[in-house]
Amino acid sequence: MSTFQLTYATMFDPPEELHTRYEAALAEARATLGAEYGMTINGEEVYAKHTFKSHNPANTEEILGLFQTGTAEDAENAVAAAKAAFPTWSRTPWQERVQLLNKAADIIDERIFDIAAATSLEVSKNRMEALGDVAEAPALIRWACDEMERNQGFVTKMGEDPLVGYHARNYSVLRPYGVWLVISPFNFPAALTGGPVGAALVAGNTVVMKPATDTPWTVRLLAECFVDAGLPEGAVNYVTGSGSVLGQALVDSPDLDGLTFTGSYDVGMGIFRSFAQGKYIRPTILELGGKNPAIVSRHADVECAALGIVRSAFGLQGQKCSACSRVYIEEPLYDQTVDRIVELTSELRVGDPTDRSTYMGPVVNSWAYRDFLTFSDELREAGTILTGGEVLTEGDFINGYFCSPTIAADVPLEHRLWKHEMFLPITLVHKVESLEEAMALANDVDYGLTSGFYGDEEEASWFFDNTQAGVNYANRPQGATTGAWPGFQPFGGWKGSGSSGKNAGGYYYLQLYMHEQIQTLIE
């Protein structure tokens, strides 16, 4: 294990020890099923009047845990706790904050198998995807810590202005905002909660985190790591409940100083608009959806392209913001590439995500399952389903939201599903006459998260120059549009896919959690 670094691009051939440790953790996680979990507010375990059940999407009869249905009052208490903790935490020397956050990252690493087992059960991630999600959280936290160190706490001496008879000492200091809200999506509960929480905290903000209703367990286990690292009470708070009640109450709090929301375009834009109702503008980091294209040139390596496209289309059941949902192929290689994509797709193993040989588990909930049926019907009517298009209901599939990986062709370009983020294991393919035509179609959406390309190097450079997306890959068999890792591929979107224009896990991200103060002293 020591020489193996798990990333989304290295997960295909892991060492054996990884499997045995995951299986042991899974058995332990299963032994706790049905337990009740509180919220963590001001260091206290808090219980609400009502609870909700978290179900296993692979077997909806299995209840994973009971979680608190947090209310507007809980939102108020969590924000108040974070506000009270801010003066002390923000004045804690940055070196100490870095030390504590690095400790939290170490604890997550120590518990990676336990947390990943919970993630597999509640999101139906296969074991490698679950481990990858959890491993990304400490990677992002450490990245933020390293950036704080590399920039020496963001205290920068500026030039001395040429004042006659005086001596001026000028400093630029980046300082935290205050109380920071982190709202995360169901599909990467560990990385997309842990990453922003780590950045906000190391910058000196205090935090309230709210996970998706589908993934309270993973985030609870993650929150415990921050608490166990020794962060002061109130610096990090964990609340659970619905987005529309608890989430909205948090967003509406006048005591909030900034937020990071990762989730769908519609919910994110709603939050952006309601957060703008405050007395003044507060920082709003939005990481939103995608409709990610892959382009295959006539000079592409067909095997490489087909592998990358299939992995990106169907990893985590197509429920990645970076999933490849559109493929444009130049005419000379169209038939050959599509045949290979269909062949690889029909070989994917769908099943219980905790089984070693499973590639695709079920989709996350009944809404996603219903959407799959609706979209498949629409595509069948508008074009041709080359493989898939069915839900799986027999035998082991009877109690889960299992769908077959689906490729559709001949769908008219005016069809709404060319532009709508389906967030399901469905990908559309289309024949083009030229790369220019492919690029025009690829860019003709409101999203701009990731994109992929297969062709020669000169074409790849043209692709990078012309694609309108934040994260782009050329000739990558590990994933056409997926597989970003902090430090290698900082992750973020253009256009409707993100608000800041700066990518998480990159050099310009941590600064988003601080405002600049200039300090001029005439000595």
Among 65, 243, 452, 490, binds ligand NAP (CB under 6 A): 243
Residue 125 CB, shortest distance to ligand NAP, in Å, is: 13
Of the candidate spans 2-10, 133-141, 226-234, 264-272, the one that interacts with ligand NAP by CB under 6 A turns out to be: 264-272
- Burial pattern 241-277, b for ≥16 Cβ within 10 A else e, equals bebeebbbbbbbbeebbbbbbbbebebbebbbeebee
Q: What is the largest CA-CA distance in the chain?
A: 87
> Which secondary structure element, helix H or strand E, spans residue 458, and what is its range?
helix 457-466
User: Counting contacts by CB under 6 A, is residue 289 touching ligand NAP?
Assistant: yes
Q: x/- contact string, 472-491, with ligand NAP (CB under 6 A)?
A: -------------------x
Ranked by CB distance to ligand NAP, the top (closest) residue is 243
User: Counting contacts by CB under 6 A, is residue 267 touching ligand NAP?
Assistant: yes
User: Counting contacts by CB under 6 A, is residue 138 touching ligand NAP?
Assistant: no
Q: How many CA atoms lie within 13 A of 146 on its CB side?
A: 13
Among 42, 264, 443, 511, binds ligand NAP (CB under 6 A): 264
Residue 341 CB, shortest distance to ligand NAP, in Å, is: 22
Residue 171 CB, shortest distance to ligand NAP, in Å, is: 34
Site size with ligand NAP, rule: CB under 6 A:
35
User: Counting contacts by CB under 6 A, is residue 365 touching ligand NAP?
Assistant: no
User: Counting contacts by CB under 6 A, is residue 297 touching ligand NAP?
Assistant: no
Judge contact between 102 and 145, C-beta under 8 A: yes
Check if 145 is active-site: no
The three-class DSSP label of residue 298 is: coil
Alpha carbon distance 452, 460 (integer Å): 10
Instruction: Enter the DSSP assignment of 267.
Output: H
From the candidates 129, 147, 287, 421, which is the catalytic residue?
287
Q: In the 3-class helix/strand/coil scheme, how is 98-124 assigned residue by residue?
A: HHHHHHHHHHHHHCHHHHHHHHHHHHC
User: Counting contacts by CB under 6 A, is residue 170 touching ligand NAP?
Assistant: no
The three-class DSSP label of residue 347 is: helix
Q: x/- contact string, 490-519, with ligand NAP (CB under 6 A)?
A: -x-x---xx---------------------
Among 10, 51, 248, 466, binds ligand NAP (CB under 6 A): 248
Check if 321 is active-site: yes
Alpha carbon distance 427, 461 (integer Å): 25
Residue with smaller CB distance to ligand NAP, 138 or 243: 243
Q: What angle do CA 150, 139, 227 make, to 5 degrees?
A: 95
Alpha carbon distance 240, 82 (integer Å): 16
Among 242, 336, 399, 443, binds ligand NAP (CB under 6 A): 242
Window 6-25: residues binding ligand NAP (CB under 6 A):
none
Alpha carbon distance 513, 141 (integer Å): 13
Among 123, 212, 310, 460, binds ligand NAP (CB under 6 A): 212
Residue 416 CB, shortest distance to ligand NAP, in Å, is: 16
Window 398-427: residues binding ligand NAP (CB under 6 A):
421, 423
Residue with smaller CB distance to ligand NAP, 39 or 342: 39
> Which secondary structure element, helix H or strand E, spans residue 133, and what is its range?
helix 127-150
Q: Describe the chain by its helix, strand, coil percentages, rounded to 5.
A: 40, 20, 35
Among 186, 217, 375, 513, binds ligand NAP (CB under 6 A): 186
User: Counting contacts by CB under 6 A, is residue 68 touching ligand NAP?
Assistant: no
Alpha carbon distance 322, 340 (integer Å): 22
Non-local (6+) Cβ contacts of 62 within 8 A are 33, 55, 56, 121
Residue with smaller CB distance to ligand NAP, 352 or 421: 421
The three-class DSSP label of residue 417 is: helix
> Which secondary structure element, helix H or strand E, spans residue 309, and what is its range?
helix 302-314
From the candidates 321, 330, 403, 459, which is the catalytic residue?
321
Catalytic annotation, residues? 287, 321
Contact set with ligand NAP (CB under 6 A): 183-188, 192, 210-213, 242-244, 247-248, 251, 262-264, 267, 270-271, 287-290, 321, 421, 423, 449, 491, 493, 497-498
